């Protein structure tokens, strides 16, 4: 409680305005926190799903290249795959959730082909290339989700600290200051009223003498 606040009606009005503003800020921050938490939990669920999909895609790609080796031989595979020149690029954009910038990752592939003669190769080579393309795309989405989760978690912590500060420190202090100032004004007015009555009584007594 701040006893340095002068017990005036203008200060009471200011404290009421400050308290209303703090309550509004608390409500908005509490809503922001709730929205961010819902978004965070949604992305966590998606990240778990994408992690499993990435693991499966990488396993599929690894098994596919092993099948290529079994069908074509290690030397042939070693000669074929280096000739593949697929250009990949990552496009980064952002979206906002309650003011928090979250990344969006899109992976693009530009390929010319054919990269090698079909003689001595099998369709397994194409399957292997497709498996690795799919794995790279999924990894891009997974990285998007993980970065978004970190940023949202950081913002949730900030919001929680601000909400707690308003709820447990700022708003109670303003209420206490407002109550103290209002009570002091009432005390001063009562004292003034009593003093006026005493003055009036003395004046009446003096007028009779």
Long-range interactions of 7-10: CB distance < 8 A, separation 24+: 7/181, 7/184, 7/185, 7/188, 8/181, 8/185, 9/185
> pTM for this structure?
0.75
Q: How confident is the model at residue 194 (pLDDT cuts 50, 70, 90)?
A: confident
Token couple for 26: 């608390």
Residue 179 lies in a domain: no
pLDDT of residue 108: 80
Split into its structural domains, the chain has a count of: 1
> Which backbone phi and psi does 6 adopt, to 5 degrees?
-70, 135
Tell me how far apart the alpha carbons of residues 91 and 140 are, in angstroms, rounded to a whole number: 10
112 has a pLDDT exceeding 70? no
Cα 103 to Cα 97, 98, 134, 154, 206, distances in angstroms: 11, 14, 20, 15, 86
Residue 175 lies in a domain: no
Q: Nearest to residue 150, comparing CAs of 44, 38, 55? A: 44
The per-residue pLDDT for range 91-110, each reduced to its tens digit, is 889 999 999 999 998 888 77
Residue 169 lies in a domain: no
Q: Which domain holds residue 59?
A: 10-164
Q: Nearest to residue 41, comparing CAs of 135, 117, 148? A: 148
Q: How confident is the model at residue 39 (pLDDT cuts 50, 70, 90)?
A: very high
Residue 208 lies in a domain: no
Torsion angle of the four alpha carbons 7, 13, 14, 20, in this order, in degrees rounded to the nearest 10: 130
Q: Which comes out higher in pLDDT, residue 208 or 201?
A: 201
169 has a pLDDT exceeding 90? yes
Residue 126 lies in a domain: yes
Taking residues 135-151, report their average pLDDT. Answer: 93
Residue 4 lies in a domain: no
The per-residue pLDDT for range 63-83, each reduced to its tens digit, is 888 887 787 777 776 776 666
Residue 69 lies in a domain: yes
- 148 by Cβ neighbours in 10 Å (0-12 / 13-18 / 19+) ranks as buried
Q: What's 69's domain CATH number?
A: 1.10.287.3240
Residue 129 lies in a domain: yes
């Amino acid at each position: 409680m701040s006893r340095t606040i002068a017990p005036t009606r203008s200060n009471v009005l200011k404290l009421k305005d400050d308290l209303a503003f703090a309550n509004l800020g608390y409500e908005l921050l509490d809503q922001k926190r709730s929205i961010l938490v819902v978004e965070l939990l949604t992305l966590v669920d998606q990240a778990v799903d994408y992690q499993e999909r990435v693991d499966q895609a990488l396993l599929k790609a690894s098994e596919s290249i092993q099948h290529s080796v079994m069908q074509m031989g290690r030397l042939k595979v070693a000669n074929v795959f280096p000739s593949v020149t697929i250009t990949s690029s990552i496009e980064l954009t952002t979206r906002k959730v309650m003011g928090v910038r979250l990344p969006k990752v899109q992976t693009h592939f530009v390929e010319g082909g054919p990269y090698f003669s079909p003689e001595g190769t099998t369709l397994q080579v194409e399957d292997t290339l497709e498996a690795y393309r799919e794995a790279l795309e999924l990894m891009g989405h997974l990285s998007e989700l993980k970065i978004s989760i970190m940023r949202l978690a950081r913002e949730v912590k900030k919001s929680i600290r601000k909400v707690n500060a308003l709820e447990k420190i700022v708003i109670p202090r303003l209420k206490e200051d407002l109550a103290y100032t209002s009570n002091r004004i009432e005390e001063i007015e009562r004292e003034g009223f009593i003093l006026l009555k005493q003055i009036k009584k003395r004046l009446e007594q003096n007028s009779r003498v």
